[in-house]
Each structure stands twice: as C-alpha cells, then as structure tokens.
Amino acid sequence: MYQHRINRLKLMTRSALVGLIHDKIMKSPSKAYDNGEATTLMNSDAESLDGIAEMVHETWAQVIEVLIGIRLLAGQVGWIWPLPLFLIYLCSYMSRYAAKHLQPRQKAWSNATQNRIAATSSMLSAIKVVKMLGLQQNFARRIQELRGAELRTASKLGWIMVYYNASANALGIFSPAITLAIYAVISVARGVHLETETAFTTMAILSMITHPANMVMTIVPRAATAFSGFERIQEFLLRESLDDHRGTLPNVSTNRSSRNLAYGHLKNSNPAIQIRQLRIGHKSPVLEHSDIEVAAGSLAIISGPTGSGKSTLLRAILGEVLPVQGTISLSARQIAYCAQKPWLPNGTIKEAIRGATEIYNALARALFSKCDILLLDDTFSGLDGETEQIIFDNLFGVTGLTRRLETTVVLVCNSSQYFQAADHVVVLGDHRIIDQGNWQDIRVKAASIAKFTSGHRTRDKAVLSANSDELSAHLRAKDETEIDLARQTGDPALYGYYLSSIDFMNIFFLITSTASYALFITIPQYWLRLWTELGGRNTAFYVGGFLFLSSLSWISTSAQMWSILIRLAPQSGSRLHQRLLHIVTSAPLSYFSKTDNGSILNSQDIQLIDKQLPSALQTALTQIFKLLMQIILLCMAEKWLAVSLPASMLLVYVVQKVYLRTSRQLRSLELESRAGVFLSFLECIEGLETIRSFGWSRAAIQDNMRSIDNSQRPEFLRLCLQRWLNLVLDLLGAAVATSVVAVAVAFRGHVSGGQVGIALNVMLVASSTLLKLVENWTTLETSLGAIARLKRLEETTAVEGGRSWNLEPPEKWPSRGHIKFKNVTASYEPGSVALRNLNLDVTAGQKLIVCGRTGSGKSTLLLSLLRLLEPESGQVELDGIDIRHVRLDLLRRRCFVAVSQEPLVLPNETLRFNLDPDGSMPDDVLVAALNKAGLWSHFFEGHTYSGGEPATALNISGSGRHPMLDQKVSLFRKLSVGRSQLFALCRALVKASSLRDSGVKPIVLLDEATYSLDPVTESTIHRIIDDEFTEKGHTVIIVAHRLGPLEKHTKAGRDAVATMADGRLEQIIADFEPVILQHFTQVG
C-alpha cells in the first residue's frame, strides 16, 4: 500500500511540474528559450524531481530501521555495537563528497543534453533545406559531437557515482566482516568460541543495519541530482513573464454608411488600433516616434524595405514585443494572426482550420475565428500573382468578406497595386514612419516608396503532397503502438542488437567482474559455517580468509560499476545514437512528412539507453550470478533443500511470464504516449504567438494536460502491475522461509544449528535475489523497448537514394554545368504526377528562369535535380553523367549550390559554422562574403568580443582567425527575413568559392529565394548572383515569383525563361526582349 501511494505521488509530482513548465511557456516571451531547453526541463529535470517525496519518507523510515538494528545488535555482540555506526560515519564522507560534486556535474550533463536536443530539433525543423544544401552529414557530425560532449559530462558524473558506490558497498561488505572478526578475536581471548547462533544472527542484523544506512546515503546523491533539476526548473519559472502593455479602446462597430464604396475608404470612424509615440528597441531602435491610427473596419497596409520593422510592429500590436516608450491601444484583445511562416498543429481537418501550414488554411483559420482585428504578415508572398489577386479581391475588395464582416485588417505587403484598395497606408524606413495616409494622399510621393514596392508577382510552391499526411500523423503513431502491443513475447534479437554496440572486451570484463562479485559475496556464508563448526580453532586463519573474501567482493563490485558507468554506457550510448542519427538523416523526405518531430525527437529512448538500460543489464547479470552461486552453495550445504528449487523456479517463471507479457505492452505504450507530450510542447513553442493572438492559451494548456494524462495512464498501470509482482514474490519468499523452519523443527534431531542457519540465510537471500532478478529482468525487458523502437526504425525506414550505383565521377566533375532532362516523370505519391515527360536542355553557363503558377512543377524540377524526389522514369544528366548513378552526398555537396526559400540560420551555432559548415575556408573569404552581401556591419558594428575591444575587420588574431566568427549567431542582432536570405546567399558564396578552388563548377539553384523580399534586397541578391556566379560561368537555375526585378539581370542569347503548367514545360524562350519579361510579369 505504501509503495502504491508513493507511485501515485510520483506521477502527480511529475505531471504538476510538466504542467507548470508548460504554463510558464504560455506566459513567456515567444523567443525566450529554445526547443531543447523546454523539452529537457519537462523530461529529464521533471523526472529527477518526482522521487522527492519518496526520499523524504524513506529517510526517516530507514533511520528508525537502523536504530532498531543497532539495539538488536547490542544484544548479540555487546559493547562492539558502535562499530557499524563508526563505519557508517566514515562512508558518509564519500556521500558528502558526492553531494558536493554531483550537483554541478548533473547540471552540466543536463545542459549538454539540452544542447544536443536543440541542435537535433533545429535539424528536424529544417530537414528539407538541410538536404537541399547537402548539409545532413555536417549536421550529423555536429550533433554527434554534441552527443560526445554530453557523454563526456556523463562520464564525469559516472566517476563520482563509481566512488560513491565503492564507499556504499564497502559499508555493506566490510561491516559484517570487521564486526564478526573483532567479536571473534575478543571471544577467543576470553576463551569463548564464536557460536553459530550468534554468527548468523549477527550477519542478519548487520544486513538490517547496513542496507537502510546504504539507502540513506544513496538518497544524498539522488537528492543532489533532484536539486539540480529543481534549480533549473525554478530558474525557468522565475523568469520574467510577458506583460500585456496594451491599452483598451471602446469596442464600437463600424458605421457602414460612412464607407466610401468607390475606394473602400472609411471616414470619421472610431479607431480599432491606436499607437502613440512608439519606440521599440533600447540601444538600436527598430522603430521610434511612431504614431499610427487604424480605423475600425478598415484595411491598413504596412510597407517598407527589409529590416524596416514591419513584422516587429505587428508583434508589438499582438503584445509580443514590449515597447521602450509609447502606448498601443486596441478595441479587442482577441486577434486573428497569420505569421510569415504559418503554424500547423497536428490534428484533424477540423482542427487544421485552426492552425494550418499552408497559406490558404492559415487565412481560413483567421477568417473562421471572426475576430474583430486581423493581422497578416506578408501572407500573400507565398502565392502566384493571379491567385493572390483573386484572394485579395475576395477578402479586401469593395464587397470582400472582411469588408462585409467589418473586420479591421492590417496587412504587411510591398505590392503597390493593392495600395489604392487600402484605407490607410503606412510606409516604414530608417527606423521610423516615412509617410502614411490613404493612397490618394501619398501617391504623389510615390518616388519615395517605389524603391521597395513591387508590382505583380508570380510564384509557385511545390509542396510535397505527402505533407498532407501530417494531419494523420497521430493515426500512424497509433499503428506503431499497435505493433508494440502485438509484441507479447520478448525478442531475443534485441539483446544481440544492443550488445552489438559494445566491444567484446567490455562485455567480457563486465561478465567477469559480475561473476567474481557473485562468487565472493556468496562464499563468506559457507566460510562462516565452516568457521563456527570448528569450535574456535584456527580463528586467525578464518578471520583473515573472511576479510580477504570480502575484499575481493568489494574490488569486484567496484570494477563492475566502473565497467558499466565509464566503459559500457558511454560506448553503447554513442554508437546507438550514431546509428539512430544515420537512420534519420538518411531517410527520404517523405519520411519526415509522415512522422511528426515529437516522435523522432522523443529523447526518452536515449535517456533509457543512457541511464536505465545499462543499470538494468548490470543488475540483472548480478542477480543471475548471485542466484546461481546461492543455488550451488545451497546444494553443497543442504542437499535436502535443493528439491524445493524446481517447484519455486517454475512458480516464479509462470509469474514473471504473466507479468512480462503485460508490462512490455504497457512500457511500449508509455514510450509512445510520451511522444505526444513532446509534440504538445514543440507545437506550443513554434506557434506561441499565434496561439496567444487567437486567445487559445487555455485550450493549449488543456491539450497539454490531456497529453500528460494519456502518457501517465500506461505508466500508472505498469507500476500497479509491478506492485502485484512484488507482493506475489514476497509471499513466495515467506512461504519458502516458513517451509525451511518447519522442516528444521520436524527434523531437529538430525539437523545442526549451523545447517539450519545457513539454510535459512541462503534461502532468504536466494528468495530476495530471485525477487530482484525478476524485477530487474522485467526492467531490462521493458527498457529494451527503446532498442526495439530503434531496431524497428532501422528495418522499416527507407534509405534515401537506395537505387544509386555509387559511381565515382571524375575528380573535377562537373566542370561545365550542362544539364539535360530526358522524358522525366516524377510524382510524390501514386496517382499525383508532379512532372510529366519533361525534356529540358540547360546549356553550360546559362541562367534559366523558371516560372509558372502554384503547383506547376517549378520547385519539383529542382527537387529532381537534387534527388530529393526520385524520377519514376527518364533521366537527368549533368555533364553527360546520369545523376542517379552518383552517390547522394557527393551529388549535393559537390554539384549544386542551393539557396532555398526558407533561409537556414542556426542561432545556437557559431557564425563560422553557419557560413562554412565544412570549416574549409579561411576567415578572409568569410568576411568578404559578408561584405558583398552588406551584412558585415550588421554583425560587427558596435559588437564586442571577449576582451572588451570593438569588433572590426582588423580584429584578426595571429592565427588568421577573426574572434567574432567564433561567436554564436544568437549573440548578435536578430536577422530580418531579408537579411537571413542574404546570409544564406553568403553561405552559397563560400561554398562556391571552395568548390571552384578544387576545379569544380557547381550549378547554382535558387528555389524562390526572394519570394518575401522587397525589391531592393531582391535586386541585391540578383546582382550578387550575376557578379559571383553568372559572370564566372556557373549555370544558374532560378525559380522566380517576381520577374520584374530580373529585367536588368538577364542577357539575351545567354539567359532563358521557361514556363511550366501542370508539370509540363510549356515553352522556353532564349531570345527575348524586355517587353516579354513584362508580359510574364503580368501573366504571373
């Protein structure tokens, strides 16, 4: 009953802590932490605290048990009774040393785990871009480095645990030996030999003393670990919460009669949004001295160049950015919001309307909410021109939906053709408002905004149709759970799979030390019987032998602990993680569209491999060898008791078989359901601004509570099942002990006291060992669930590029960049063809601009080049070699330099790693790339490095390394979307320079890389492409959504424009005039 209550308290404690952490996330600034921190807190740290209550109760109960044992011991050995207390005092020094050093090392391990999880999360969230850039090996290597650092910090903690366990085991092993030895020497000096009754009773009482004393000392390092987690959680919970600084305006409806239906403008309407003297940013203001008033029911457009503060202004209206000065007042707090990167939680189609990854569903979610205020952060940049115009007219036109619903709309947009439909236009620049008013008032100043506004646009986004399967991710997770449920018997292959990650010598050393410990911890009981039956003769010999056997036992168990914590656990943890990392990074893109990141990122499996599985293996081996030795000793000492062993073992086998059949399934369910908690956290972090803007915080908290409840149901049932197992085995042990006593009483004339003593002692110890064996064997079996998941993942996950011939092309291939598509047909899933019999010849050094409507197959063309999508038929040749015959890693790393529509910037990595993941280029190349993109001043202007000196281009050390390149990106000012894209282009410049130095001329691919940028930044990117790629003879393929800025960056006779529709190549024009480009712009 006590253990059952303790288990309930553990689960309640953990669920409360996880709930507190999630609740704090919902109240914190949206960018105040990373995914790794949140998941580590709710997993490792919260779990380390769930045993606090048990430790409190165990401490006082075991202290009482020690005191009772001391009283009983005094009755047996007299004035020697303080000796165990003295030994306990000596061993407690090690506990204090462990407590002193354990907490900082545990904290360091948690931080290292957090870094690894954060890096893994970053890779998974941008896996398509990572594969496009050919960086999966770089990421895998970096994550494995972080894994190595994590295991090294774990080894430092392991050494402390080795020292501590050596001290604790010394108490349990040497206390009986020293106490009996001293008592025997004193008895001999008095002329009294050591009696059998006294010897075995003293052994039992000393076990009663040393075991709880060990448990109390064990609590010290456990408490230190718990307090380390407590400090991290407390530090997180005490962080400053997000304060809502916004004021409230009267919520009034729009006067429809005041609307100018000809132009859509409002006159004399009450404000829905009012901003006065707004200043955002302390040292470097993003916006300052800003006054804006948006009338209720009106359409306001915010325009401006990249980095002018458009998105920051919207976030300030949402209450996500705290202004340094000024006020923001709203007529409503519930705001419909569409971020630049729309957010989609896993769920049903109905739930997807409340949070969708694609632009259409994001708009549907916002409109479905029927909020009074709607904020759109450059939402239409993801659509082609014709679709964009249709949606704009249907929503914001004279008779559009938002006009009829009288919704106040604030739209971030740089498309000047929509300005005339707006009631209010705000133009940002130079950290301030350049101009504002209706279009009639400011169009006379059009020259001031023409430099960053654009006209019509065309865009296509080739979406993996398999991505639609994300909504059924939970169904697939359910299928995986059903596979686990079907596994009612253990898989012996799992042991081989796990042991294959460990060197033979480490396994051999573990088995040898375990067998030695079992031998030397068991023999002293038989030695004690021989000693007592000799009537006090050869006391010195037997005392020395007793102490020698105890010393060998202590050395063996210490060696065993060293083998597990320092050798076996780090080695298996590193190799299994590397195997898992290889499986994930080698998986095709479709795998990630069908599997949610929460399931992949669930670090519970790694935690089991690091902590529980090695310990369970060690304990199970120990109990097996101890049981074997006890059976041998029992057979040698009392053969008449050996007849009871087969019946006992059969009964135990039946019990554990019933237990394991259920516990395996419950453990598998527990592991699967915990992925739901991970997913809940990740979704809330990624969509925090959207959740709060719609007023869904309470719903998100309730969803997290449901996930926690679902994850704890199987764990609670498993713990109840374990209580049942303990009860059955305890009753079995009691029955065996009763039988031994009954037999001894019945045959008291034929059985000596020594025989009864050793029989009873061995049977009790064997019963306890059998109980522990079944418990630890089941723990080992259930812990193998992590190995089962990894093994199943390896067996069922396809390998990307499996059909490659692994051809080794010439060392300097490609040297020209000539591409041929020959009857290429490709699809994302059966029945949905993305490319149809594509024939396309891209000559070396040509710039090809690919355009077409959404879903026309433009991006699919690039995916086929990169072999992110394998053609069903046809072939793609690069400089005369079929790319299917080339290794994937070589193809992507050597043949292509890609810039995707989603810039990859890793804030937790250094600037150097972000620019040059291979680490192959000197610093002057990196600095030159930043200068060409105009980003040098962004990173280094006014920034200081360790040493206090300002960072400039001259801060180059004697080794030729710039110290600021080794700073994390998160330490600099945050990059806007446009600057992030320029940064991605810098990475492309560095890679192209590296490949050119080796004689290779890669093809440059731009997958709608400028779709959300203002024309100034877009023109800068195309200028760099011309100067650094086209003029240097690189073949360039651009999937463009706006052709206007390309007019002055195209050359007749060299460049070409290709249009696509329904996966087919409609036409390709090489000899064109600027008027043709204008035609494409209008058609787009």
590: its two tokens: 């479709």
Nearest to 1017 by CA among 990, 1074, 977, 1057: 977
More confident residue, 723 or 946: 723
Over residues 731-742, the mean pLDDT reads 75
Over residues 922-939, the mean pLDDT reads 86
Contacts with 747 (C-beta within 8 Å, 6 or more apart), sequence order? none
Tell me the C-alpha distance between 866 and 859, whole Å. Answer: 11
Question: What single string gives the DSSP state of each residue in 462-526?
Answer: ---GGGGGGGGHHHHHHHHHHHHHH--S--HHHHHHHHTTS-HHHHHHHHHHHHHHHHHHHHHHH
Q: What domains appear along the chain, each with residue ranges and CATH number?
A: 2-240+487-796 (1.20.1560.10), 247-466 (3.40.50.300), 819-903+1000-1083 (3.40.50.300), 906-974 (no CATH)
When the pLDDT of each residue in the chain is averaged and rounded to a whole number, the result is 78
Residue 51 near residue 14, CB atoms below 8 Å: no
Tell me the C-alpha distance between 3 and 695, whole Å. Answer: 42
Tell me the C-alpha distance between 233 and 20, whole Å. Answer: 9
Residue 574 near residue 154, CB atoms below 8 Å: no
- DSSP secondary structure code for residue 43 in this structure: I
Output the pLDDT for position 703: 86
Over residues 313-329, the mean pLDDT reads 86
Name the most confidently modeled range: 392-406, 805-819, 871-885, 926-940: 871-885
Residue 871 near residue 864, CB atoms below 8 Å: yes
73: left (phi over 0), alpha (psi -120 to 50) or beta: alpha
CA 777 to chain centroid? 30
Nearest to 1068 by CA among 842, 879, 860, 862: 842
Side chain identity, residue 122: S
Phi, psi (degrees; rounded to nearest 5) at 527 = -60, -40
Output the pLDDT for position 200: 75
Tell me the C-alpha distance between 582 and 391, whole Å. Answer: 43
Tell me the C-alpha distance between 223 and 207, whole Å. Answer: 24
| Residue 497 scores a pLDDT above 80 | yes
pLDDT tens digits along 991-1007: 999 998 888 899 999 88
Question: In terms of C-beta distances under 8 Å and separation of at least 24 residues, what long-range contacts does 250-257 make, across chains too?
Answer: 250/331, 251/331, 251/332, 251/372, 252/296, 252/331, 253/296, 253/297, 253/406, 254/295, 254/296, 254/297, 254/298, 254/406, 256/406
pLDDT tens digits along 545-574: 888 999 999 999 999 999 999 999 999 999
| Residue 465 scores a pLDDT above 70 | no
- Can the peptide bond before residue 814 be classed as cis, meaning omega within 30 degrees of 0? yes
Residue 661 near residue 2, CB atoms below 8 Å: no
What are the helix (H) ranges across 319-467? Answer: 349-352, 359-369, 385-396, 401-405, 439-442, 446-450
Tell me the C-alpha distance between 140 and 107, whole Å. Answer: 25
Across 697-846, the runs of DSSP E, i.e. the strands, are 819-829, 832-842
Confidence of residue 260 (pLDDT cuts 50, 70, 90): very low
More confident residue, 56 or 823: 823
Residue 357 near residue 470, CB atoms below 8 Å: yes
Residue 577 near residue 147, CB atoms below 8 Å: yes
Residue 1083 near residue 1077, CB atoms below 8 Å: no
Tokens 């021989």 correspond to what residue? 530
Over residues 413-427, the mean pLDDT reads 82
Tell me the C-alpha distance between 910 and 772, whole Å. Answer: 49
Side chain identity, residue 720: C
Q: Give me the count of residues in the chain.
A: 1084
Confidence of residue 958 (pLDDT cuts 50, 70, 90): very low
pLDDT tens digits along 160-207: 889 888 888 888 888 888 888 888 777 777 777 777 777 778 877 887
More confident residue, 634 or 522: 522
Confidence of residue 960 (pLDDT cuts 50, 70, 90): low
Contacts with 271 (C-beta within 8 Å, 6 or more apart), sequence order? 249, 293, 294, 295, 296, 329, 331
171: its two tokens: 């108490």
